[in-house]
Amino acid sequence: ECGNSISTRNQRLAAIHSLFQHIQVQAPEYMFQCQQVLAIPFKKAVKRQVSFLSEDETKVLLAMPDTTTRKGRRDQALLCLLYDSGARVQELADLRVGDLRLDSPPQVKLIGKGRKTRSVPLMDKTATLLRQYLREQRLDNPSCYEHPLFFNTQQKKLTRQGIAYVLKKYADGCGISEISPHRIRHTKAMHLTEADINPIFIRDFLGHTDLKVTEVYSKTS
């Protein structure tokens, strides 16, 4: 009646179920009533198909920034890191210079949900772009390790909205619609899946806690 989506209703029902599981342990005399509540079923929903870019679309998108300009070189480094790391947009926004390791083997340290940290390998081409970016921004020294990796004219870190704006600008330029940073994350996951990479590696790469979440890419492929 309130117009809530199926996922919202299921989340609220899960909370109610959790409460009544607790009650039936603490107050067994209400066991029958608790079982009635716990019997309320979750609503089934049609699972949406994972949306991702093809390899050709990805190549075109990453080549869109004008690398003859300082801002264009920054944007290309940002887009390549977003794709190559499969990072969530907030993970990318929170990056500090010290989170990068560009010596061989190059990798980036991401802080995900629940403050869990994971190290993600990077391709050599991405490492080269980031090395050039740090040098150009004069961030390639230890005193800058706590500086935001990507920042605005006020030297403050780019926000989630700022990163989404940069991405959409270039996606519009090459005719890609319905773009978002999370779609780039899906794209990386799908490309790993279609390259026949072990799902357990993909799970750890993306920072998922459950392999079932990662298996959606195998089903989509």
Q: Which residues, listed in sequence order, are joined to residue 118 by a DSSP beta bridge? A: 110
Is 182 catalytic? The answer is: yes
| 75 phi, psi to nearest 5 deg | -65, -35
Is 185 catalytic? The answer is: yes
Is 12 catalytic? The answer is: no
Is 147 catalytic? The answer is: no
Write down the catalytic residue from 22, 71, 113, 116: 113
Write down the catalytic residue from 12, 22, 71, 182: 182
Write down the catalytic residue from 83, 133, 170, 217: 217
Write down the catalytic residue from 73, 74, 83, 88: 88
User: Do 110 and 118 touch, CB atoms closer than 8 A?
Assistant: yes
Q: Number of C-alpha atoms within 13 angstroms, CB side, residue 113?
A: 6
Is 191 catalytic? The answer is: no
Write down the catalytic residue from 73, 74, 157, 185: 185
Q: Which two tokens stand for residue 202?
A: 């993909």
Is 208 catalytic? The answer is: yes
Write down the catalytic residue from 74, 186, 191, 208: 208
Starting at the edge strand that comes first in sequence, how are the strands of the sheet with 117-121 ordered? 100-101, 107-111, 117-121
Give the active site residues.
Answer: 88, 113, 182, 185, 208, 217
